[in-house]
């Protein structure tokens, strides 16, 4: 019984330690900014993108939450959540990711500070699949 308790505590301590190391420090003096949620149609060489392709964004040194394409060439829920007011001035670039690599979209978006979460409908165009 004691071995199980020690084993459980060791696992719990490891999980907590790893989760704290992975987080980047956030300025405690300012709250995070409201996010932009991107969605829209995505095209590869003019044709609707295949279903199940991962779409994500990069802004400054940060990455968005990944979204996935659904039927009809639509992507949804690419969440760009700036951690500081500095990041609200970044340019967002979009990428398609498959097991073969990544491809950058032609479009970019200039972030701005928003008073509430903002939904952005943006068509993305890619030259080819990776």
Beta-bridge partner residues of 9: none
CA distances from 2 to 5, 7, 14, 15 (A): 5, 8, 18, 20
pLDDT band at 22 (very low <50, low <70, confident <90, very high): very low
- Of the listed ranges 6-15, 75-84, 98-107, the least confidently predicted one is 6-15
The full set of domains in the chain, from first to last, is 36-126 (2.60.40.10)
pLDDT at 85: 85
29: tokens are 């003096």
Whole-model pTM above 0.95? no
């Amino acid at each position: 019984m004691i071995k199980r308790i020690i084993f459980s505590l060791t696992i719990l301590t490891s999980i907590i330690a790893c989760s704290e190391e992975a987080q980047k420090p956030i300025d405690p003096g300012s709250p995070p900014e409201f996010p932009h949620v991107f969605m829209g149609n995505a095209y590869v060489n003019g044709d609707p993108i295949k279903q199940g392709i991962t779409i994500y964004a990069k802004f400054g040194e940060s990455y968005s939450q990944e979204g996935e394409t659904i039927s009809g060439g639509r992507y949804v829920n690419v969440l760009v959540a700036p951690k500081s007011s500095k990041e609200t001035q970044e340019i967002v670039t979009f990428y398609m990711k498959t097991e073969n690599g990544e491809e950058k979209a032609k479009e970019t978006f200039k972030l701005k500070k928003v008073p509430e979460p903002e939904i952005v409908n943006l068509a993305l165009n890619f030259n080819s699949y990776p």
